[in-house]
């Protein structure tokens, strides 16, 4: 099957990802690709970190018993693996083989945003009364060209936190709401070559763009429940939860779309929750439900 258009035409690789016998895919909440084009998948299963080669063959897994609820996974500039655990309110840094190097936040101790857990997502988000410090159910880590980290803190907070490369907090911004600089589930982020921070403000169905210090610059609203943002070669890739990838330039001009956002999700991308582009500019998408899986689209354009 062919998707997208022009220079961003992709072919879906059916059944690309393979697991050992008896293992099953579950919610693939996060994924990233390292410098060797190995694909790291973060799943809500007994084997949370799965590593595959470029052809989808299983290499190894790690992380059993380490996470309350996996959410985002990012490969840092030095090849380290950063995993956000939204249930335990922490961000872990690992080697690529799973050795723990650093933890940000205190396990089991959320910051005081007023958040009250509720099975109804919008009721839970509506309980957030104020922006708070790190962390209350963090979602994703991204890196600036300088090496600084930005961490979206979304399910129980409404903030973006800026850290030094070695984990010292520089500052934070954001509060609950729908105005400029306000958030309703900041879910993912990316930083461009100029240091601008692109934040997927999921339940406000937009991408907000800020300076490195958190000053609001503009917003893009031609997206539906933006869940993740990835920038490569001055191209912006936006995962939209209902089932679509929107591809734009750095000014927001739409270059192509993969899949169709159709209410509860398209057949090819039921719930596009996370994405990454490898060195060949192929597209990987992690999905959470229904039929949780990971998809690979090979660039043909």
Domain boundaries, the chain: 2-299
What is the Cα–Cα distance from 94 to 71, expressed in whole angstroms?
A: 15
Q: For 19-41, how does the pLDDT look when each residue is reduced to its tens digit (9 = 90+)? A: 999 998 888 999 999 999 999 99
What is the Cα–Cα distance from 166 to 281, expressed in whole angstroms?
A: 29
Rounded mean pLDDT, 243-254: 96
What is the Cα–Cα distance from 186 to 207, expressed in whole angstroms?
A: 9
Angle at 95 between CA 134 and CA 151, to 5 degrees: 20
| pLDDT score of 243 more than 90 | no
What is the Cα–Cα distance from 24 to 15, expressed in whole angstroms?
A: 13
Q: What is the CATH number of domain 2-299?
A: 2.120.10.30
The predicted pLDDT at position 86 comes to 97
How many CB atoms lie under 10 A from the CB of residue 166? 9
| pLDDT score of 168 more than 80 | yes
From 30, 84, 96, select the one nearest 59 (Cα to Cα): 96
| pLDDT score of 263 more than 60 | no
What is the Cα–Cα distance from 67 to 296, expressed in whole angstroms?
A: 26
The predicted pLDDT at position 291 comes to 67
- Confidence category of residue 265, pLDDT binned at 50, 70, 90: very low
Rounded mean pLDDT, 156-174: 98
Q: Which of 58-62, 197-201, 230-234, 260-264 is predicted with the least confidence, judged by mean pLDDT?
A: 260-264
What is the Cα–Cα distance from 297 to 108, expressed in whole angstroms?
A: 38
Rounded mean pLDDT, 178-205: 98
Q: Find out whether 103 and 83 touch, Cβ atoms under 8 Å.
A: no
H-helix segments, 78-220: 121-126
Q: For 52-63, how does the pLDDT look when each residue is reduced to its tens digit (9 = 90+)? A: 999 999 999 999
How far apart, in Å, are the Cα atoms of 19 and each of 22, 127, 204? 8, 39, 36
Q: Between 25 and 269, whose confidence is greater?
A: 25
From 11, 18, 97, select the one nearest 57 (Cα to Cα): 18
Q: Is 288 left (phi over 0), alpha (psi -120 to 50) or beta?
A: alpha
The predicted pLDDT at position 266 comes to 53
From 273, 258, 181, 157, select the one nearest 226 (Cα to Cα): 273
Q: For 121-154, how does the pLDDT look when each residue is reduced to its tens digit (9 = 90+)? A: 999 999 999 999 999 999 999 999 999 999 999 9
Q: For 73-123, how does the pLDDT look when each residue is reduced to its tens digit (9 = 90+)? A: 999 999 999 999 999 999 999 999 999 999 999 999 999 999 999 999 999
What mean pLDDT is reported for the chain? 94
């Amino acid at each position: 099957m062919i998707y997208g258009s022009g220079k961003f035409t992709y072919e879906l690789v059916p059944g690309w990802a393979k697991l050992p016998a008896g293992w099953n895919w579950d919610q693939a909440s996060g994924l990233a690709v390292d410098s060797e084009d190995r694909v790291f998948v973060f799943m809500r299963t007994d084997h949370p970190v799965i590593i595959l080669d470029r052809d989808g063959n299983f290499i190894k897994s790690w992380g059993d018993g380490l996470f309350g609820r996996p959410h985002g996974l990012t490969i840092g500039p030095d090849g380290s693996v950063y995993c956000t655990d939204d249930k335990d309110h922490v961000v872990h840094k690992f080697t690529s083989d799973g050795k723990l190097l650093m933890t940000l936040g205190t396990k089991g101790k959320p910051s005081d945003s007023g958040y009250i857990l509720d099975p109804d997502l919008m009721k839970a988000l509506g309980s957030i009364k104020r922006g708070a410090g790190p962390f209350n159910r963090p979602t994703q880590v991204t890196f600036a060209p300088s090496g600084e980290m930005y961490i979206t803190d979304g399910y129980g907070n409404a903030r973006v936190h800026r850290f030094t490369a070695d984990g010292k907090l520089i500052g934070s911004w954001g509060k609950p709401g729908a105005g400029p600089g306000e958030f309703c589930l900041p879910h993912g982020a990316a930083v461009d070559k100029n240091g601008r921070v692109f934040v997927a403000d999921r339940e406000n169905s937009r991408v907000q763009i800020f300076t490195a210090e958190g000053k609001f610059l503009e917003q893009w609203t031609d997206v539906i429940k933006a869940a993740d943002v990835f920038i490569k070669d001055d191209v912006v890739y936006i995962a939209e939860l209902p089932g679509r990838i929107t591809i734009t330039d750095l000014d927001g001009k739409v270059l192509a779309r993969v899949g169709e956002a159709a209410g509860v999700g398209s057949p090819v991308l039921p719930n596009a929750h996370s994405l990454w582009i490898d060195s060949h500019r192929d597209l990987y998408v992690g999905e959470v439900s229904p039929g949780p899986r990971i998809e690979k689209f090979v660039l043909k354009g």
